[in-house]
Structure 1
Amino acid sequence: MATVYLSAKLNEALLDGLVIPAHPLALDENRKLDERRQRALTRYYVASGAGGIAVGVHSTQFEIRDPEHNLYETVLRMAAEEVDAAAPDRPFIKVAGVCGPAEQALRETATALGLGYDAVLLSMGGLGQLTEEALLERTRQVAQMMPVIGFYLQPSVGGRIFSYAFWRAFADIPNVVAIKMAPFNRYQTLDVARAVCHSARRDEIALYTGNDDNIVADLLTAYRFDIDGKTVEKQVVGGLLGHWAVWTQKAVALLEEIKAARREPAISMEWLTRNVQVTDCNAAFFDPAHQFVGCIPGIHEVLRRQGLLQGTWCLNPHERLSPGQAEEIDRVYAQYPELNDDAFVASHLEEWLRAR
């Protein structure tokens, strides 16, 4: 099988920086797939101006792969159909979440490829038994099929710590096109950025934030190193975020504003305040107060309030809003009304929920 690469247009857009929401899963009260609302979510992300979607990732619920649900291919297909039907007049990247041991990862990559996806977000969670070299070899095998976005997942939700040497070798793998840095840790984020800067492939790899506790500051950060007597700089250009699965239209506007700010000779101190405002909202949605137990229901609750979802149900019945989480969402809605896109959603909701 010949290796698939990103088109020049998609590659340019990815390197410039995109808003890529992590796509949720719409369920009904019986915890069965709600196809109408699943499709409506994809229509919302396209209409919001997002530069792509990531499907089959944590926000889509890893349980979609379980035999009793068997929804992985179904939700990937629905999202691809909606993007293709919308035919956005801008580059729009379709990213498929891929996880598990090499055999599973390759099988899921083949599914994504067959459905017309552009890249895979390769999770290394749940593979603590594998050495770093084994994970690098797994990445090489997937990258021989299609473009790979690496993923540094925080340990508190199933990730693990990787060495600088791991990321240095990872960056050298052909067809790695981006890395989502989401360790929620500045030291470990720095390891990835430094490793990419030291790679001969540095200009081919986009740095994306997944650090929900530091979104705005990450997007304003350029990493700069002296390498062999030459100054090398890499900017965090965009985000692939569960946080951006809600209030997406405003996230798109935020990234465009940040891109303009990057071109200015100096950054306003106001951006530090904006950073903590977004982080405050994320704390309500993602529930770090309870070790992120309510992170998926928190996203669902915002979408429910907007009418995009009927409820906060998850495939795992134990995943639900934490005590006080709904009140925290009330609080950030009241505190930062400029950050929500409720009016935009309300003006299009009927259209998105309509069957084609």
Structure 2
Amino acid sequence: MDTSKIRALLHQGLCIPAHPLALNAQRRLDERRQRALTRYYVAAGVGGLAVGVHTTQFAIRDPGVGLFSPVLALAAEEMDRVSRPLARIAGICGDTPQATREAALLLEYRYDAGLLSLGALAHASEEKLIAHCQAVSEVIPIIGFYLQPSVGGRTLSHAFWQRFAEIENVVAIKIAPFNRYQTLDVIRAVTEVGRSDIALYTGNDDNIVADLITPFEVGGGTRRIIGGLLGHWSVWTRKAVELLQRCQREPASPDLLRLGTQVTDTNAAFFDAVHGFRGCIAGLHEVLRRQGLLEGIWCLDPQEGLSPGQKEQIDRVYASYPHLHDDDFIDQYRDEWLR
């Protein structure tokens, strides 16, 4: 399996937003706005998209919903229109039979790699997890995903990440435990194994800037987290692209660290950190609704919405950090994207 194309792309250090799901008031797919979101991200300058992931809502796979394939197809069609290369990533879930079927489907829609969720194997041994990852990697290149336990992840050992990094068709790891010790576990494991071809991406939405500007001297070498694959970057995306470029271009400074705390503060509002992230998807939808890209904040689950006080927190960060939003950019092109 030739992984050279996706490896080369990922090693450029990309801004990769996790793609939301656009629904109408009947909680059915709003194709026009779904396409508009993809067009927005491309116009904002992202280096790739992650589709069918948590931000897209895992329930798109449910038989009664049936949106996994349509959503993959819509994003693929829009990415096909783009002349520059994009990293085409999609989520993979479920036990090994489901995950390998999803991996095969991704290939049909010309995706480059699968972001592999281990949520369905919550009680499996690490030995079984490695076997699962190996099986999926034989179908499509995979991106590892260290997900925080509070939203369905589990704690994984340093030894697990060493063995994971030894799988040939691993092209990247999204490090998203929201925990500095566990973040170091992954970086050290990959460095010790000597896999310089595995790109490290932050998924730590609570520590984006710090991850991007830190040289990690662990495991007998120095590694950098070179890009981000983030739900947070599905909003205010034009500014996220600029932020990543600045982190790659400039040395660490008090000003960048100050900016990093502001980004974390906005994430607390969008992701509803105070309520254990219950309103994280609805919070992102609320921002996109305010910008006119979504009609409403509807989720597939009627019980999923903004938490008490979350709207006011989004009001607060909007007012506090006007330099972080891209409303003017969206106002300029929104009608074109919605055509």
Same structural fold, with TM-score higher than 0.5 when normalized by the shorter chain: yes
In structure 2, the residue matched to 1:291 is 276
Counterpart Cα distance in 2 of 1:125 and 1:237: 25
1:129 maps to a residue whose letter is H
2:17 to 12, 21, 25: 21
Match of 1:254 in 2: 243
Assess if the C-alpha contact under 8 Å between 1:6 and 1:119 holds in 2: no
Task: State the 1:269 CA deviation.
Answer: 1.3
Work out the CA distance in 2 between the residues paired with 1:190 and 1:226: 10
Q: For 1:123-176, what per-residue CA distance to the aligned partner results, in whole angstroms no more than 9, with x for missing partners? A: 111311211111111111111122110000000001000111000000010010
Find the partner of 1:122 among 92, 98, 116.
116
> Could you tell me how far 1:6 is from its partner in structure 2?
4.1
Q: Identify the residue that residue 48 of structure 2 maps to in structure 1.
A: 52
Return closer, same or farther for 1:109/1:337 CA change in 2, 3 Å cut-off.
Answer: same
Please give the alpha-carbon distance, in whole angstroms, between the structure 2 residues aligned to 1:48 and 1:184: 26
- Using the alignment, how far apart are the partners of 1:236 and 1:327 within structure 2? 33
CA distance in 2, matches of 1:206, 1:311: 36
Residue 245 of structure 1, aligned match among 225, 234, 238: 234
Partner Cα distance (1:174, 1:226) in 2: 20
Cα distance in 1 for partners of 2:217, 2:99 equals 34
Q: Is the 8 A contact 1:286 1:296 kept in 2?
A: yes
1 CA distance for matches of 2:31 and 2:4?
Answer: 29
TM-score, scaled relative to structure 1: 0.94
Q: CA deviation at 1:329?
A: 0.6
1:225 aligns with 2:215: no
Instruction: For residue 13 of structure 1, report the CA deviation from its aligned partner.
Output: 2.8
Question: What residue number does 1:235 align with?
Answer: 224
Flag as ranges the 4+ runs of structure 1 deviating above 4 A.
none
Structure 1 residues 169-318: aligned runs within 5 Å: 169-200=163-194, 202-225=195-218, 227=220, 232-262=221-251, 267-318=252-303
CA–CA distance in structure 2, aligned partners of residues 182 and 243 of structure 1: 12
Instruction: State the distance in 2 between where 1:243 and 1:226 align.
Output: 29
Instruction: Confirm whether residue 167 of structure 1 aligns to residue 130 of structure 2.
Output: no
Aligned residue type for 2:16: I
Contact map agreement 1:18 1:238 (CA 8 A) in 2: yes
Task: List gaps (5 residues or longer) in structure 2.
Answer: none
> What is residue 130 of structure 2 aligned with on the other side?
136
Query: Are the aligned partners of 1:126 and 1:159 in contact in 2 as well (CA < 8 Å)?
Result: no
Q: TM-score, normalised by structure 2?
A: 0.98
Question: How many residues get paired?
Answer: 339
CA RMSD of aligned residues (A): 1.0
Partner of 1:74: 70
For residue 321 of structure 1, what is the amino acid of its counterpart? Answer: L
* Residues 189, 219 of structure 2: 8 Å contact kept: no
- How far apart are the structure 1 equivalents of 2:265 and 2:44? 22
Shift in CA distance, 88/299, structure 1 to aligned 2, threshold 3 Å: farther
Answer yes or no: is the 8 Å Cα contact 1:6–1:147 preserved in 2.
no
How far apart are the structure 1 equivalents of 2:185 and 2:170? 17
Work out which of the residue numbers 37, 40, 48 in structure 1 matches 2:36: 40
Contact 1:97 1:123 in 2 (8 A): yes
- Structure-1 separation of matches of 2:292 and 2:125: 45
Q: Is the 8 A contact 2:138 2:169 kept in 1?
A: yes
Query: What secondary structure sits across from 1:47 in the alignment?
Result: helix
